[in-house]
Amino acid sequence: MLKIKVLGPGCANCKRVEQIARSEVEKLGVAAEIEKITDYAQIMAYGVMSTPGLVIDGKVVAYGRIPTNQEVTNWLIAAQN
């Protein structure tokens, strides 16, 4: 099961990243656990200084922007291999 973390305080962009992640997980039929991290200390522990951030299986794949659906799909597929 993939562990996906959405990093951010809960702003509109953070919610959008979560929606994209959930949508692509569902589309691919991937087993994944999506967790929201809103604590700044935890966010900074990933080395992320600007939100939103997206972490897949412990690897920061995006931060400071909203990734495209295709990017998220590619990261999910890569994380399974």
Cβ pair 28, 77 in contact under 8 A: yes
**Annotated catalytic residue within 11, 34, 45, 49:** 11
Counting Cα atoms < 13 Å in the Cβ hemisphere of 24 gives 21
Cβ pair 11, 2 in contact under 8 A: no
**Annotated catalytic residue within 4, 6, 14, 54:** 14
Specify whether 11 is catalytic: yes
Specify whether 33 is catalytic: no
Which active-site residues does the annotation give? 11, 14
